[in-house]
Amino acid sequence: MQTNLEVNRVGIVGAGAMGSGIAQIASQAGCIVVLFDIVQDALDISEAKLNKVMARLVEKGRVTKDESVQIQARIQRT
């Protein structure tokens, strides 16, 4: 028995280096992401790092500015 699942929402616990990276990749793949951490500073740092990464990807031409905005908008931090 084979089941094909389409993943379009991802929940991630922990906004450290791994959680933030997973959130970015999942969002770039088109998923809605909920990134959870009990430490607000971790969420703030995660957002700042993603902004920096996205700016660099736009600068290198790997994503457009519009795509960057959409990728960031798909990540909800809580």
- pLDDT (tens digit, 9 = 90+) per residue, 24-77? 999 999 999 999 999 999 999 999 999 999 999 999 999 999 999 999 999 999
Quote the tokens at residue 11: 């929940």
Identify the architecture of domain 9-77 in CATH: 3-Layer(aba) Sandwich (3.40)
This prediction's pTM: 0.87
| H or E element at residue 13 | strand 9-13
Q: Is the pLDDT of residue 3 over 90?
A: no
Q: For the chain, which residues make up each domain, given as ranges?
A: 9-77
> Which pLDDT band, with edges at 50, 70 and 90, does 5 fall under?
confident
Contact indicator for 72, 23 with CB cutoff of 8 Å: no
| Pair of tokens at residue 13 | 């616990």
Cβ neighbours for 71, distance < 8 A, ≥ 6 positions apart: 24, 27, 28, 54, 63
